[in-house]
Amino acid sequence: MAAPRSRMLDLLKVQCRIFSHTFNPENLRLGNKILRQRLRGAALASYYPRKTVTFEDLERAYRPMGLITFDPLRSHHEEMNQMYDPLNIQYIYTLWK
């Protein structure tokens, strides 16, 4: 013979009180499983090392001494500007005619 529903709910309530769980007889999705977990923020933040010195910091430090650093992206940009200078394009266009 099965136990009555009220008796089973009382047993479930006592069990939840003993094991520090939330009593949820309607089986609603409350998110308690996630909320009981430890926070992960500190562990994720410490995964990457702290930022120390960057290349730009070194450039700023050595610029007053007259030292020049090589930036490949900037040099490529300057090369492209010289290649496609409007005067040169105009000159090439006149030669083509």
**Per-domain residue ranges of the chain:** 5-38, 55-96
Q: How high is the pLDDT of residue 12? A: 93
C-alpha 63/C-alpha 17 separation (Å) is 68
pTM score of the predicted model: 0.36
Distance between CA atoms of residues 20 and 15, nearest Å = 8
* 67-77: pLDDT as tens digits: 777 777 777 87
Task: Work out whether the CA dihedral 41, 47, 52, 55 comes out positive or negative.
Answer: negative
* Residues 9 and 25 sit within 8 Å (Cβ to Cβ): yes
| Cβ atoms of 33 and 39 closer than 8 Å | no
Task: Look at residue 92 in the predicted model and tell me its pLDDT.
Answer: 55
